[in-house]
Amino acid sequence: EWDFGDGNTGTGNPAAHTYTAEGDFIVTVKVTTASGCEATATTALQAGIMPTVDFTATPLQSCAQDPIQFTNQTSPVDETTWLWTFPQDGSSSTEPNPNHTFNVIGNHDVILMANHKGCIKEVIKYNYIQIIPPIANFNQQPDCVNPYHRKFTDNSTFGPIPTPVKT
């Protein structure tokens, strides 16, 4: 015997049930053997609608290491979680409207996945953000013979060398 947590019950194995409203529910199944032994199992679940997922960003082209503001346009918002993925720079965010700094020159895809009560949907915008050079970076090496001396190497990235255009 099934108790679906919304006032409805059922029998059979497997059992199916359609919830008529969003919510959090505790579902219980009770089994009885021919000899009269009983056992129950319970689980919590969420029922909800599939979210509509979209977003914008400002600016769409930026210098490296300048932040991009993402604006989440997903609905519904209540009881929804988000996962933003920025594949080309290997990072992510769970903030609703992240302010993200890209550290890799070039075009960047952006993925937003929304989870509303277990219903998951994502949108991918390919080559959505363009990051232009340079990216400043350097390293240093100590000199163990002279501990006050350091060697610095500029590892800054200026992007690919432009291909000459034949005229």
How many other CB atoms are found less than 10 A from the CB of residue 51? 21
Q: Does 165 score more than 70 pLDDT?
A: no
- What does pLDDT average to over the chain? 92
SS3 per-residue string spanning 102-127:
CCCCEEEEEEEEEEECCEEEEEEEEE
Q: Residues 82-124: pLDDT tens digits?
A: 999 999 989 999 999 999 999 888 999 999 999 999 999 999 9
Least confident segment among 71-75, 117-121, 159-163? 159-163
Q: Which residues pair with 67 in a beta bridge?
A: 101
pLDDT at 160: 66
Beta partners for residue 23, in sequence order: 47
Model confidence over 9-22: pLDDT tens digits?
A: 999 999 999 999 99
